[in-house]
Amino acid sequence: MEEIKTQLEEIFEAKTSELKEDVRAEIAADVEKMLEKEREKREKKLGAYHPDAEDENEAKMLRIRKALKEVANGNKKVNKDFPNVSKKNLTTSEPDEIVDTEISFEILNVIEEYGVARELFRNHQLTKNKYRANELDADISVAWVDEGEDIDASTFSVTENVLELEKLAALAIMSNELLEDSEINIENFLMERVGELFAKEEDEVFLAGDSNETGVPVDGLLYVDSVEEYQMETGEDSVTDMDADDLLFMQEELPSTSRDAGVYVMSFSVFNHVRTLKDNDDRYIYQHIADEGPDTIWGKPVVVAEGMPEKDDVDPEESFLLFGDFDRGAVLGYKGGIRVDSAMSGYVKDSGNSDVRLFQSDRQAIRFIERVGYVHVLEDTIVRLKTGATS
């Protein structure tokens, strides 16, 4: 009996040991899989040079070229091997034009990353070419009156501010060899570059545009009549004459609700001058708060925008700096995404105004079009700083 018991214990111990080894092996395998995934995640490089990105983009370019050839040959049906393009994405004006919605999405991402106007303004996607915003024009007056005394009447009215979409466009001509043989991903580079230029153009017009200049469709916030204005003293006719009090006193042009959410917007050269300004207690008004929040001027966030005037380009009696609640005061509207068309035949004017025969010279033309606009919708939300007159 004792011998049988001993044999059973030995068998049980052996089976338990085998089970433990199996469990250990499974756990070790699972841990190794997790570590391998983590290593892949850490080692993976973003951008066009990563093998996955190269394979994906090469496949996409092959699909695009294949579809372009199909359409250029008169086949207007969508090829079954070209799943990223649907019939509604094909233009109907020319048989050799095609739209890739994936490109449109990527460019919009770039614009939102680089555009100060898109970051600060309230964004609306429109279904029509206009956006109408109602603003209080004449308010009700309230007053204490004695018994039997007439109450003064007040007229209440609302005005309408209209945002009209404008067209922003770019046309790039390139050889097929550049697309096929380049070691870098030309498509990704082109998308990023166009996105940056669109964003810069939006900032230059919506923040600092002067419609009296050729090619500028609307007045930006530095010129539109409805924005409040604070002007420096006579004789302070350049940006370098600005002092700390100017930046503080311009806030007084706005009510507390706009001041509380206020943000300063200026060019980098103006910002560099502001960083040297001190208050009456010899303390810098600019504060850099590392990793704890945005940089501030007089306790208010500051944003540097390339589209704002540079310090040495500002003349006497000219606006150059903004402060206010841009989210409440300005609306940026756009209709759909950015349309991207590609043509392989026909004539295109180059930058020298010469005709380029696309098919004959084995080149492609890629056109980018965006419909976008802005409007200042609410007074007492934004104020601009203006240099003084020459003494």
Distance from chain centroid for Cα 178: 28
What residues make up the domain containing 130?
Answer: 100-391
Walk along the chain (391 residues) and give the pLDDT tens digit of each residue: 666 666 666 665 665 666 666 666 666 676 666 656 555 544 444 333 445 545 655 565 555 555 444 544 444 444 344 333 333 333 333 333 334 455 666 666 666 657 899 999 999 988 888 888 877 778 888 989 988 898 888 888 878 888 899 999 998 888 887 777 665 677 777 888 888 889 899 999 999 999 999 999 999 999 999 999 999 999 999 999 999 999 999 999 999 999 999 999 999 999 999 999 999 999 999 998 766 667 899 999 999 998 999 999 999 999 999 999 999 999 999 988 788 888 888 878 777 777 888 878 888 888 889 999 999 999 999 999 999 999 8
Does the residue 11 lie in any domain? no
Does the residue 338 lie in any domain? yes
- DSSP assignment string, 321-390: EEEE-HHHHEEEEE-SS-EEEEESSSEEE-TTS-EEETTTTTEEEEEEEEEEEEEE--TTSEEEEEPPPP
Does the residue 34 lie in any domain? no
- DSSP collapsed to 3 states, 141-156: CCCCCCCCCCCCCCCC
Residue 375 contacts residue 161 (beta carbons within 8 Å): yes
Q: How far apart are CA 338 and CA 192, in angstroms?
A: 13
Q: How far apart are CA 217 and CA 199, in angstroms?
A: 16
Three-state SS at 355: strand
Does the residue 331 lie in any domain? yes
pTM over 0.85? The answer is no
- Cα dist. 145→105, 149, 226 in Å? 61, 6, 34
- Whichever domain contains 193, its CATH number is 3.30.2400.10
Number of domains in the chain: 1
Determine the Cα angle at 243 with ends 278 and 275, to 5°: 50
Does the residue 19 lie in any domain? no
Does the residue 48 lie in any domain? no
Does the residue 120 lie in any domain? yes
Tokens of 256: 């507390």
Determine the Cα angle at 262 with ends 195 and 110, to 5°: 10
Does the residue 57 lie in any domain? no
Tokens of 158: 């609302």
